[in-house]
Amino acid sequence: MEIKKEQVSTVNQKNIEAHEGSFDFLANRLGKEGIDVESLIQKLANFQVAIPSWALGAGGTRFGRFSFYGEPSSLEQKLDDVGILHSLTQTAGAISLHIPWDIPTDYRAIKERAVSLGLKFDAVNSNTFQDQKKAPESYRFGSLANSNESIRQQAIDHNIEVLEIGKKLGSKSLTVWLADGSSFPGQTNFQRAFTNTMESLKEIYKDLPEDWKMFIEYKPYEPNFYSTVIQDWGTSHLLANECGDKAYTLVDLGHHLPNTNIEQIVATLMMRGKLGGFHFNDSKYGDDDLTVGSIKPYALFLIFNELVYGMENNSQNPYPAWMIDASHNIKDPLEDLMQSLEAIQEAYAKALLINQSELKDAQEAHDVTLCQEILQNAYRTDVRPLLQRARLKTGGAIDPIKTYRSLAVRKNLIKERGKHSFATGL
């Protein structure tokens, strides 16, 4: 199913009056505060977030998975789903593939489809956390960190194969996330596991094309519960530095122990020019992979404050690759993703409202109260009319979820694909 521009604009007509009223009110206020509303809207319109190919079906937990009707059962259908998201939000202009869950069969056809839907191929992701059918070696006790050389080699070869697939699609980055670690004290030797991982990553890095980046993701636990080899940003940063200039750290919001100051990690990495990629989600307890902004929206805003500061002041840091890495246990995945996109844009818009020079002055005057006021004034502004205006400007929906529901998208997908179609992924 494809959503036509005319369908979106017909629904928009019904909401336009309310939008204009709230937009004019806000734009007027912001204008008086000296904010360039037009350039802010342009920044929002430019901000694109990749959708992972594995997030379009129902997610699950280790206790089970409840299928969501009309799931995409092929890569083509996954692209169509991202196309739907993009036509409604104009913010989801890229897809990130996980290999081998989503190996294209006909590259030309897939690329043409992506172009027609206005989508790019973002980072390709390797998978050495699951055993693959017919693979001679098992990753049960690790992949790139494994003490067994032929297991490590199989994992290296897989990553190189992922690079080859990405090259054919026009991707420009590889994301490596390792499940490697140990579940019990004494199970592995930390130093040997780290060294093996470093040497393996260097082997993969040798094959990285000149204009590519390698993103090294970290995570403190899960599926291993005693230790992970790349447990934190420092370890990832160390490995990225060892590999070379094209290797970067990737921050996944769910990959921190409770109450970690993620915004400070972001600031340090950007200052060092090493923040390459970003995975959005939200969590209450661990790597819950919940809808972005559903639990800690203020923390997300503080993170965006550092991202905006870094994007404006750290030319040594490349523009980060943004992706949603969430799972949808009980909601319609497409609705969930639209909520995440909205929360990301909202946090970004609020961070853009922060008057950085006033903040600097207040910091230097050690006026702690004023520092907090500056941040919270921005945070408390209802920026949704700005998001609506950015979407309207680019042909998206004033209200994506309302439009999705009024066009009965899920019902149509079920009609097209059947109730029990099943998406690959976790």
Binding interface with ligand PSV (CB under 6 A): 54, 125, 177, 217, 219, 252, 279, 287, 325, 426
Binding track, positions 232-261, relative to Mn ion; x by CB under 5 A? --------------------x---------
| Closer Cβ to Mn ion, 55 or 302, answer by number | 55
Q: Which does 426 bind (CB under 5 to 8 A by kind): Mn ion, ligand PSV, none?
A: ligand PSV
Instruction: Determine the interface stretch with Mn ion among 47-55, 64-72, 189-197, 277-285 (rule: CB under 5 A).
Output: 277-285
Least CB distance to ligand PSV at residue 256 (A)? 12
| Closer Cβ to ligand PSV, 253 or 270, answer by number | 253
d(CA 172, CA 138): 29
Using omega within 30 degrees of 0 as the cis cutoff, is the peptide bond preceding 220 cis? no
| Closer Cβ to Mn ion, 82 or 110, answer by number | 82
d(CA 218, CA 239): 11
Residue 279 contacts Mn ion per CB under 5 A: yes
d(CA 352, CA 308): 7
Least CB distance to ligand PSV at residue 230 (A)? 11
| Closer Cβ to ligand PSV, 102 or 203, answer by number | 102
Least CB distance to ligand PSV at residue 395 (A)? 31
Least CB distance to Mn ion at residue 8 (A)? 31
| Closer Cβ to ligand PSV, 243 or 326, answer by number | 326
Tokens of 81: 């789903």
Residue 342 contacts Mn ion per CB under 5 A: no
Residue 325 contacts Mn ion per CB under 5 A: yes
Residue 282 contacts Mn ion per CB under 5 A: no
Least CB distance to Mn ion at residue 281 (A)? 8
| Closer Cβ to ligand PSV, 176 or 341, answer by number | 176
Q: Which does 125 bind (CB under 5 to 8 A by kind): Mn ion, ligand PSV, none?
A: ligand PSV
Number of other residues whose CB lies within 10 A of the CB of residue 25: 12
| Closer Cβ to Mn ion, 236 or 388, answer by number | 236
Among 132, 128, 131, which Cα is nearest to 144's? 128
| Closer Cβ to ligand PSV, 237 or 279, answer by number | 279
Least CB distance to ligand PSV at residue 125 (A)? 5
Q: Which residue is closest to ligand PSV by CB?
A: 177
Q: Which does 287 bind (CB under 5 to 8 A by kind): Mn ion, ligand PSV, none?
A: ligand PSV
Least CB distance to ligand PSV at residue 217 (A)? 5
By CB under 5 A, the residues from 39 to 68 that bind Mn ion are: none
Least CB distance to Mn ion at residue 89 (A)? 21
Residues near Mn ion (CB under 5 A): 252, 279, 325
